[in-house]
Structures are given as structure tokens and as C-alpha cells.
Structure 1
Amino acid sequence: MGNSRSFEDLVAEGAAVPTEGWDFSWFEGRATEARPSWGYARTAGDRLTWANTALDVQTGGGEVFDFALGRAAVQPPMMVAATEGWPPNVAKATALLRSRGVVVVAAAEDAPLPFADAAFDLVLSRHPVRAHWPEIARVLRPGGTYFAQHVGPRSAVELVEHFLGPQPEDVSGARDPERERAGAEAAGLEVVGLRAERLRMEFHDIAAVVHFLRKVIWMVPDFTVEAYEPRLRSLHEQIETTGPFVAHSTRHLFDVRKPLA
């Protein structure tokens, strides 16, 4: 297969790319991930067309919410807000979403949502660290909807295990869609739709692996190039010899409603 660039050059490039936001365009030509069939951002745009008030939770750099708002046939006429906990992303989301009238609020991912009860018709989220179901239920008005794409269990486990070795099953089941369904129902919400898919990922060079692990920090929580240099080098040699490294992401789509009564 082979790549004319050296291991050192590729690793240095992957280590230098900024990690703010959820724009993955840098990966074009160097890594791919199949997209779920349901088209989350496009469908979220359709939902926004009918909302008066909307909130995007853990918006990252605001890119997905911005795309969804751009897809909406009509902009929500009242309050549109987003939350984000990482300061560089708060700044990026504020700059991106300001022109759409979105209020971006700095709020830690595990903190209560800084909004009044029954404030929103629609709550969106793409890849929240975890869903805080009681808070989602609290800020939704009766009849309102939570529409979100979550990361499923053992996502990209093949890549994680290359660096960390065999991983035990998640005994807490925190990312299991059925466990999350139970959490939503315990908060008084009705799960009207739940879909799950397993999707192919390919990494075509080691720069893409380095950038991915720096960007998606929970995959290998203590990742640094220096600490994992031997594992990076062995993976580089594997890609050079046999072609792209293949892993699989897991995603599930929640369509959740707060009952009227």
C-alpha cells in the first residue's frame, strides 16, 4: 500500500490540527465513517421548522445545529438556545450561531440546564456525553420533543483496543440504548422512536488516528503521542502494509415526547 510520507511527519501533522468544534472536514481523504441512514441533521432541521422554542444541548462548535437551522423551512420565531461546556467550543459556537439569533450558554455537561421549566418545544442533541433525562423532561413543555443522536456502546472499540488492550463490557450499560430508554421513561418521558446502527469506519493514515484521538478524547482518555508512540508506530506499519484500519461506530436515534398530562 504505502504512503510516501514518514511516520514522524504524519504524526506531527495529526498532532498540530486544531481540535475545537465538530467540523470533521479535515479527515476528507484520510478517514471515513458511514453515516446513519436516518440523516440526523437534516431531520433535525425538519423538526425545527415546527418549533417555537428550541435548545441544542452540548452543541460543540455549533456546526451541526447551524446546519439544521439552515435546513429549517422557517426559523423558530421565539427563543433558540444552545449549551456547551468546553470554553474553546463556547467561543466557536457563539461566533458561528450569533447570526442565527442563537443564545449560546456556557454550562458544564453534568450541570442542570440553565433554563426555566417547560421552556422549549424541542430539545436537540448530537452525541451528548450522556443524556440528563430529568433535566430534559423539566425544560420540555408538555407535548414537546427530545430528538437526538447518541453514541452507542463499544463505539470504535477496535481502535480503542489497539491502544488499551481488550476492553471489558460496560457493566453500567451507560450507553446501551435500552438502558437509556429506561432512563427516559423513569423521567416521565415517552420514547416514540428508537433506532440503532453499527457503521464502518476506516483510517487511511496515522495522522488521522492521532487527530481523531485528540479530538474524541474519551476514546483513549490519557492519549498523547509520546505515551503511545510504540502503538502508533505499529498501527502505522499495519496501515502501510495491509491498508486502512477498520473500526465500527455505534449510533442510536432517540425520538422522545413529554406527555401532555
Structure 2
Amino acid sequence: MTGSTPLMAETHHPRRTFEDLVTEGAFVPTEGWDFSWFEGRATEARPSWGYAVSMAERLGRADAVLDVQTGGGEVLEFALGRAGKVPRLAVATEGWPPNVAKATALLRPRGVAVVAALEDGPLPFADGAFDLVVSRHPVRPHWEEIARVLRPGGTYFAQHVGPGSVFELVEHFLGPQPQDVRGARHPDRERADAEAAGLEVVELRAERLRMEFHDIGAVVHFLRKVVWMVPGFTVETYQPQLRALHERIEAEGPFVAHSSRQLFEARRPAL
């Protein structure tokens, strides 16, 4: 698919059984945000703004940067390589221990300190420590903490997951979701929350992007990796839904869903 990334280009595999596919998807390691395993098995169109490249441009001008919820550090590592320099101070936080280890191994050689910090806890840094805070797909942005650690005039630049993302898949497993769940992460709500924390919203863009799952193994791996989609997902618990979706893919072709992405740029007002 043009403009798509793994979750990458379609290839053809010999027909495999439901059991084989599910078993494979259940045992692939899930650490980090490397989605190369999905090549030939799932696709996701990319947002038009090119977040990692845009992040690199800002890193090239930054003095002190914080990457919140870095995952395995892959996006920051790419952006630093693209920028060709590391800011004077570069720090990343992550809450999941396997990702902390992976991010540390990837980012420490570049001079980035990785700090273990809970996703829902305060950021363990001084007020006004950073002129740039970045984040790709935070579970939830903690606007008060982001505003606190930014210097006056500093920028928050992030790509968020938007409302109803991949809900075609979510509702296959969980059934119809209430409107308050579907509307969570709405850009208007996020704008209001950022402004309530004292930030000025400079840019907010939203896009819905086509996704395709070509086999049930890709679905299993995706739900194990993106754990908030179907909380508590296991193959055993959702065996009937998995088998039904496998049969649908076999009969009709790829399962189509749509991700929701938001580009968010906000600034702490200068003194």
C-alpha cells in the first residue's frame, strides 16, 4: 500500500491453519515499537505530517529534550539520527520494564538517559527543565506535568492516538462501545485540557488512516502489543472471536479498520 508502513507491503504466504497462525502471533516478542514483524501481514497508512521527521527537525534546534513514554526508544533513536546531533540534555521516560531495558540499550550509546517512570505518575524532573518535550502515542498526556517541566517558551510536540482508533477491531472482540468510550481522546477535549494546564495550542491536526490485517496471527500479535485495545486480551479468553475473524478473513480477504492520529503542538507561554 502506498504510504503505508508495517503494520508494510503485502506479500502472499501459503495457507496456514488457524492454530498455526494464532500460536505464532501469541509467541512473537512484543517489546518496543518495532512493527517490522507485520510486514506482509498487516498495513497501516501513515499520517501526512511525518511525525518522526518533523521531530528530528525540532531536535536539531533543541537544548534540552524529554521523550515521554518512549517505548523501546525506536522513534527517538531514528529522529536523533536524522537530526545529526543530540541536544545538550536528552532524557526519555518509560514505564514498562522490558521497554526500559530495550530503550536503554538503544539510546544510551547516543547519550540519552532513560528513566523508569510510571505512565500515570509525576515526571521526575525539575520545573522548567526542558525546552522540548516529545511523545509518540502516550497512553494519556499529563498536561499539568508537561507544562511544569517545560521552560517558558518551550514546546510540546507529539503524535497522539485519537478517538475511536481501530474500533472496528475493538468492537469485534468487546461489542459496541458506549459513546463516552468512543469519544475519549477527542481533539477538542485534549485542546481544552492542554489550555487548562496553561499551554497555548499552536497546531492540532487529526487524520483517520486505513489499516488492513491479512491474517489472524497479525491480529493476535497486535492485541498483545497494543494492550489497551482489548484489555486483558488472551488467546484463550477470546478464542471464539478469533476463530470467527479468521474465517471472515479467509472468506472475504483482509480485515479493514481505521486508526486515528492527532498531531499536537503546544507551547508554554514565554514570561
Determine if the TM-score, normalized by the shorter chain, exceeds 0.5. Answer: yes
Residue of structure 2 aligned with 1:6, choices 2, 10, 17: 17
Identity of aligned residues (%): 77
Helix, strand or coil: the match of 2:218? helix
- 1:100-139 residue CA offsets vs partner (Å, 9 max, x unmatched): 1000000000111000110001000000011101100010
2:153 aligned partner: 143
| Contiguous gaps of at least 5 residues in structure 2 | 1-11
1:178 aligned partner: 188
TM-score when scaled to structure 2? Answer: 0.94
What is the rounded CA distance, in whole Å, between the counterparts of 2:114 and 2:232 in structure 1? Answer: 29
What is the rounded CA distance, in whole Å, between the counterparts of 1:41 and 1:51 in structure 2? Answer: 15
1:107 aligned partner: 117
Residue of structure 2 aligned with 1:226, choices 216, 221, 236: 236
RMSD over equivalenced CA pairs, Å: 1.3
Does residue 241 of the first structure (1) align with residue 251 of the second (2)? yes
Report runs of 4+ in structure 1 exceeding 4 Å deviation.
none
TM-score when scaled to structure 1? Answer: 0.97
1:21 aligned partner: 32
Helix, strand or coil: the match of 1:167? coil
Is the 2:86–2:111 contact (alpha carbons within 8 Å) kept by the matching residues of 1? Answer: no
Q: How does 1:1-261 map to 2 (within 5 A)?
A: 4-76=15-87, 78-170=88-180, 173-261=183-271
What is the rounded CA distance, in whole Å, between the counterparts of 2:159 and 2:181 in structure 1? Answer: 22
| Contiguous gaps of at least 5 residues in structure 1 | none
Compared CA separation, residues 171 and 237, structure 1 to 2 (3 A): closer
Aligned residues: 260
The AA in structure 2 aligned to 1:74 is: K
* Larger RCO (CA under 8 A, 6+ residues apart): 1
What is the rounded CA distance, in whole Å, between the counterparts of 2:175 and 2:64 in structure 1? Answer: 45
The AA in structure 2 aligned to 1:15 is: A
What is the rounded CA distance, in whole Å, between the counterparts of 2:129 and 2:263 in structure 1? Answer: 23
Helix, strand or coil: the match of 1:75? coil
- 1:149-189 residue CA offsets vs partner (Å, 9 max, x unmatched): 00001100000111111111126954111101111111111
Is the 1:49–1:74 contact (alpha carbons within 8 Å) kept by the matching residues of 2? Answer: yes
Is the 2:164–2:182 contact (alpha carbons within 8 Å) kept by the matching residues of 1? Answer: no
Compared CA separation, residues 172 and 35, structure 1 to 2 (3 A): closer
